[in-house]
Amino acid sequence: MLGDLKYTLTNSQVDITSSIESAKILPDSGYNKPELYGVLTESLVYDIDAIRPSKNRIYTLAVTSEYTLQGAPSSWSATIDMLAAETPDDDTRRLFIISAGNIEPNLASNFPYSCEVSSIQDPANAYNALTVGYWASEDNIQTPGYTLLSDLTDIGPTTTSSLTWKSESPLKPDIVFEGGNYGYDNSCNFAADLEELGLISTHHDFIHGNYLSPFRETSAATALASNFASKVWCQYPDYWPETIRALMVHSAEWPQKLLERYSPYTTKKRVENLLRIAGYGYPNLRKAISSGDKSVNMVIEDNIQPYTPDGKLNTMILYTLPWPENELQKLAEEEVNLRVTLSYFVEPNPGERGWKNKYNYSSFGLRFDLNSSSENSDEFVYRINKKFRDDNPEIDKGESDSSQWLLGQKLRSRGSIHSDVWTGTAQELAEKKYIAVYPVGGWWKELKKENRQSSLGKFSLIVSIETKENNLQVHTEIENVIHIENLVATTVSI
């Protein structure tokens, strides 16, 4: 709610955008078995909802457990996914923000290797959760004999990653926030969580005069992520939880040293390494809540029926984007970025806690694609739609511009949030007018006995363009186009 108090206490005004509630799955004494955490979490969520119903509640978990399943769902993470998604027994969709977990402090001296080989913890592997790691945000070291363990803006020295997970697993963490830093004594090969390298929060024993306490690592980062989400949701109270998650990922940028860690990004593997240790980066609040002078965001919330009643792929949705061709053509060869983020919540398979293939666990899957600058709408649909190709053999098959995407279709299609950046000229962007959201396999389609083939899925789609120079005129022209003719959506059979 208040952020890092080192900075908050210097401000004369603080905006309060949320209230805090708390519930515990850990007893005051003793312990609960980790295999019961899912049941306990479910019980607490339903208790909170019964006491004070809210469609804008953010569920924040900084409690994690050891995890060795290499990205496969666990009973706890499947419970999180079930609580987040809409199901026949519970039509409430929920936003979960979960700590990625930390490595043991005694392993921190082996930085960064320990971060790369230490798995993100349970239940942060949940598909629908927003998983939070941390970056090294403090460098004001004062204790004699110590140097910084991690350079400022590099990865946090005790954060965990999904670098050891199976290739088909979700890309985790999703984002990173500030989490402080560690000091390092080279003579003893010892890493220390020095007080001056932590964030500052309120102390739990406030009533007895202990007002402030250091706060660090992924627990602090997760609290900051929840604070960020509350500000976005306060700005847009009617947005879906899928959209809030999408806006946070969509607005994220990698801190400088962290971005440099795996550069140059000449292969998709290097990009994947960055994603699996730092997600999509550090969210930018200005970008998340507004279109600025150099970027324009469009937010779409929509429904899709992925499958027909007899269990076949049903329809895709084709949107015509309101690009102002004249303004983009004026920019001609100027480099522009087009970013797309697709967010949806999957319902976990009621009988599947691991996976035999990537379609066994998720109720449905969605993908997005845009036409290349050389494709018209028929050629674009022909490329991605098998039924359309079969029915229209006379249309030349178009070529995608996959080399201009940072991640590409294969890499960005893991999990239940997909975000990618296309880079090209403004002239090329003027011709990229069509974006499709289309279904792929899932257990709604395959598991006939559950009779879910006709179920509807909700999704959020965010599309933005960003230029190096001021593009207020582009923004104004897009607003005019939308005012005159709303964004066009067409369903196309598959």
Q: Are 196 and 205 in contact (CB under 8 A)?
A: no
- Over its C-alpha atoms, the chain yields an Rg (Å, rounded) of 23
* pTM over the 0.85 mark: yes
Q: Do residues 295 and 172 share a domain?
A: no
Q: Do residues 412 and 375 share a domain?
A: yes
The pLDDT of residue 16 is 78
- The DSSP line for 426-477 is HHHHHT--EEEEEEE--HHHH-GGG--TT--EEEEEEEEEEESS--HHHHHH
d(CA 133, CA 158): 9
Q: Are 26 and 32 in contact (CB under 8 A)?
A: yes
Q: Do residues 268 and 350 share a domain?
A: no
Residue 197 tokens, joined: 């390298």
Residue 210 tokens, joined: 């202990």
Burial (CB count <10 Å: 0-12, 13-18, 19+), residue 205:
exposed
Q: Which of 127, 129, 128, 100 is nearest to 115 (CA)?
A: 100
Q: Do residues 340 and 474 share a domain?
A: yes
- CATH (domain of 162): 3.40.50.200
Domain boundary among 228, 259, 287: 287
Q: Do residues 279 and 299 share a domain?
A: no
d(CA 416, CA 275): 15
Residue 446 tokens, joined: 């395959």
d(CA 126, CA 59): 13
The pLDDT of residue 484 is 44
Q: Do residues 280 and 197 share a domain?
A: yes
- In which domain, by residue range, is 159 found? 5-287
Number of domains the chain contains = 2
Specify whether the backbone of 281 is left (phi greater than 0), alpha (psi in -120 to 50) or beta: left
Domain boundary among 287, 313, 337: 287
| Amino acid at position 175, single letter | I
Q: Do residues 251 and 376 share a domain?
A: no
Q: Do residues 249 and 190 share a domain?
A: yes
The pLDDT of residue 483 is 46
3-class SS at 348? strand
Q: Which of 118, 114, 82, 120 is nearest to 98 (CA)?
A: 120
d(CA 86, CA 349): 13
Residue with tokens 């976005």, as numbered in its chain: 232
DSSP assigned state of 403:
G
Specify whether the backbone of 251 is left (phi greater than 0), alpha (psi in -120 to 50) or beta: alpha
The pLDDT of residue 393 is 61
Q: Do residues 240 and 295 share a domain?
A: no
Domain boundary among 287, 309, 327: 287
Q: Are 489 and 321 in contact (CB under 8 A)?
A: no
Per-residue pLDDT of the chain (494 residues; tens, 9 = 90+): 677 767 676 777 777 777 888 888 888 887 888 889 999 999 999 999 999 999 899 999 999 999 999 999 999 999 999 999 999 999 999 999 999 999 998 899 899 999 999 999 999 999 999 999 999 999 999 999 999 999 999 999 999 999 999 999 999 999 999 999 999 999 899 999 999 998 877 767 777 767 777 788 999 999 999 999 999 999 999 999 999 999 999 999 999 999 999 999 999 999 999 999 999 999 999 999 886 555 678 899 999 999 999 888 998 999 988 877 777 777 778 888 999 999 999 999 977 555 556 558 999 999 999 998 888 888 888 888 876 656 666 565 555 678 899 999 999 999 999 999 999 998 888 888 899 999 999 999 988 888 899 999 999 999 998 877 656 556 566 655 554 445 566 666 66
Q: Do residues 98 and 223 share a domain?
A: yes
Q: Which of 196, 194, 170, 168 is nearest to 183 (CA)?
A: 194
Q: Which residues pair with 147 in a beta bridge?
A: 184
Q: Do residues 152 and 32 share a domain?
A: yes
Q: Do residues 283 and 300 share a domain?
A: no
* H helix runs in 68-139, sequence order: 75-84, 113-117
Q: Which of 242, 452, 440 is nearest to 349 (CA)?
A: 452
